[in-house]
Structure formats: C-alpha cells, structure tokens
Amino acid sequence: MNLHEYTSYDATGLAELVRSREVTSVELTRLAREANDRINPTINAVIEFYNDAETVPGSEEGPFAGVPFLRKDISSTEAGRLYECGSRLYQGYRPTIDSYYVERVRAGGLRIVGRTTTTELGAFGLSETAMCGITRNPWNLDRTAGGSSSGSGAAVAAGIVPIASASDGGGSTRIPASYCGLVGFNPSRGRISGGPNEQDPGYGISRRFVLCRTVRDAAAALDVLSGSYSGDPFLIPRPERPYVDELSDSGGRLKIGVAMSSWTEMPLDPEIRDRVSETAKVLEQMGHIVEEIGPPFSVFDHRETIVSSSYLSYTRLDAIANSLGRKVDESTLEPLNLERYERSKKLPLSHAAKSFEYARKLCFDVGVAVQSYDLLLTPTMPCTALPHDAYSMDLRNMSADEYTDLDFAELCQYIFSFSLTGQPSASLPLFVSAEGLPIGIQIVGRFADEATVIRVARDLENAFPWAKRRPPVFAR
C-alpha cells in the first residue's frame, strides 16, 4: 500500500484490509508517519508522533483493527505519555493512568500513534497557542482550523490519520468539523464515560468523541466508545442495537425544525443560510415534515450563561499548579486565560449559584422550544473559518469580556446550547463555499437518540457525497 491508497480509505475501510491480511497495522502506522512527516510541517497539527508508534498496543479484532489514531492533548490520558493541555502550566506532565476512553480506543483496535494540538486548557474556538504555535487549516492555511480540537481536525482533514480524538464543551468537536470539512459528532451526555478522573467535565457540558470523515466511522466509533462505569454521574438508556446497524435501517418520517435566521446578534452568512435551506428541501423530498423555527433562547440568557460558566473552569487551577510545583502567572498561562483566572478568584461564592441558574433556565427554554421536533437542522457555524488574526489569546485587539462575547456567544450560537442540554448533535461537511471553504450543517437529535442522528446523517451523506473532497494541503 502506498500513501495515496492509504489516504483514500476511511478508518472502517482500513480495518477491513487489516482483518483480511491485505495490510498490517505496522504498515498503516508507517504510512501515517510518512503522511505526518510530509504534511505536518505545513499545518502544525501533531505535536508528537510517538517514536515507538509501531509497537503501541491495540486489538487486532476490534472494528478499527490496526488503524492509526491521534489523541487530542486534553481530556483523555495515556499512562506515561505527555499530557500538556496546550499549556505551559502542564508542560512535561505525564499521568499515571489510562482514561476509560483510551482503554476503549485500544479495545476497538485503534493504535494511538501521537498527540494533536489543542487550545490552552481547551478554552475558546481558535487554533493558536503560545506553547505550540498556530495550527493551520488544510483548506486555507491563513484560516483557523477551529478549536479546541484543532490539531485533530487539521490532521484528519489533511489525511495524516482517518480518525482522531476530540472533545466538545462549547463546540470543540463541531467547530473544527465545520471549518475543516469533517464529521463531528457530539454524543448525548453520559453516552461516553469521562472516568476515572473526569467523570463530570465542565459540570456535565463536555463530552469526548472523535473527528472522522464518514458517517459509518462515526457510528462504529459510537459502538466502540459508548458505555458507563461505576461512579459515572449520568445514566442514559442503552441503545437498542449497535449504531452501525442503524446505517441499514430506513427509519421513519420525522418532524424537523430548521434554523434559517441568526440566534444572536451576529448575522448568519447568507451563503450558509442558503445551504441550510437546500438541505431542508432535500429532507422534505425524503418525506420528512420540515418547518422553520426561531431562536430557542434569549440572546441575553445565552450570553450570560456562557460568560458566567466560563469562570468556573478556572477555580481548580491553583490545585493543579500546586500538584505540578508551579505557579499560575504569566509564565504558565496566556494573557486571556490568566486574566479570566484572576477575575475568577475575586468572584463571590454566589457566582456559582448564579451561573447554574442561568444554565438551568437556558436548558429549560431550549427544551420547551424544541420538544415537538424529532430533529433540528441548523448551521454549525454562522460563518466559514476565520483568519488567524481575527482574535487572539494575547488580547491584542480586545478585552477578555469582548473576546468571550465574540467567540462563544456569537460564533457558537447554534452549538453551545445543545452541549448544555446534553442532546446528541453532528456537524456534517455537506458543502464548500464559493471561496473554497467547508460549510458544516448541524443536525440535533432528542436526548439519548443518537440512532436517529446517525440515520439522517447517512441519508444526507448519500444526498451530498463528500468522501472524495480533498483540501489543497493533503497527504498524497
């Protein structure tokens, strides 16, 4: 197998070749390294390709037997491997335990061959850090790859690996999926365990999964990664059958609510609105009932939920710094995170209660607004990938408050609320803009109903085939 052949397969296809003995896992790892060596100097997505990658553990029997896999450098830990969270605060840190996520990845046959870049502490939806530099979008090197799963998005889009880990609190899987032209699935809260040390990340907002190129890879990954453990804080109904079986099920007629307007003060790009409309018409032709919906929340509540909750994540930094023998200051944190950390220390205890109340109200309002729909159709992002200098962690152009309002409340207007409600959602790479940049379209299901999302995603993949699209920067 040569590099061109390697990059033409998705993860499921490569695993089939391994099981039929047409290729070995070691050959695939060598091809992934070749792709990395050829492409990564241009996009800066992989911060470490393991020297011992050809001998890393993994099952030869799982759905992804022998397939190379990259780990986002936050959220999930490998014992003995660097875990630096895109921050100088964590530089050189090596955990002593494997996360349950990593255990399931290996049991499914995936071979973890390296680490990908992430924004500092997973904060904010960009692709630049002081420690790792800029991760560039393979579709346009002057544009952001999105964050915080920036390296995973760029690496999969550029063909280094067909699948990589991701995590999503305010949209950190779906943003790079939309910007880099990938499938970005965010499962229901509780579907995938965060244990043994991160059972409740982001107070129930953040979830782990993957970035990949095809719906069948997403379905198989759900089967591999799903499952709860003792001590997990959320219980969720088990699926009735494997998610890959949903790919051959026709499903039924659905009532679908479609977002055709902006949900905040930031306008929706007219080209993206037209692509949502086009998608809605196709779904209607498939027999579904489609009707337009307005914003499911108030702009004020949405913004206040994001701003108030963002401070809560900084409360544990002192304990982390102490355990690592460091201080939280300008030598360990970037200016934006440092300013928000310092502000968080001055907030009264009542701030947490206020934040949780905003979140409760937003969840309630969204739940009531969408309760009559089986599925929602929205843009993933209101615009295509922004230039790298649109906003920066060093606060060159704005204050911390202005940055937060711009990044989350405006850019994440269609995605954050569904992280909060715990509903499953997926960004699908249905279109490319006139400018040559990917346009992600999001579908959102009812809580615990990943099956419907998978089936409709499959139908849209068939209606708008994207498998053969390649960005200008791609491993060939």
Contact by Cβ (8 Å): 212, 162 = yes
What integer pLDDT is reported at residue 467 of this predicted model? 92
- Domain spans in the chain, listed from the N-terminal domain onward: 3-463
Choice among 25, 72, 75, 355 that is catalytic: 72
> What's the pLDDT tens digit per position in 410-451?
899 999 999 999 999 999 999 999 999 999 999 999 999 999
Structure tokens at 234: 């959320």
pTM: 0.97
pLDDT confidence bin for 214, thresholds 50/70/90? very high
Catalytic (active site) residue 327: no
Catalytic (active site) residue 72: yes
445: β partners: 375
Residue 394, pLDDT above cutoff 80? no
What integer pLDDT is reported at residue 401 of this predicted model? 59
Report how far apart, in Å, the C-alpha atoms of 119 and of each of 131, 135, 152, 279 are.
10, 10, 11, 32
Q: HSE (CB half, 13 Å, CA atoms) of 27?
A: 14
Name the CATH architecture for the domain at 3-463.
Answer: Alpha-Beta Complex (3.90)
Q: What is the largest CA-CA distance in the chain?
A: 62
Choice among 87, 127, 148, 226 that is catalytic: 148
> What's the pLDDT tens digit per position in 330-358?
999 998 899 989 999 999 999 999 999 99
pLDDT confidence bin for 251, thresholds 50/70/90? confident
User: What mean pLDDT, rounded, does the chain reach?
Assistant: 94
- The Cα 448–Cα 237 span in angstroms is 7
Cβ-Cβ contacts under 8 Å for 15 (sequence gap 6 or more): 62, 63, 64, 65, 66, 67, 109
Choice among 25, 99, 150, 172 that is catalytic: 172
Residue 405, pLDDT above cutoff 50? no
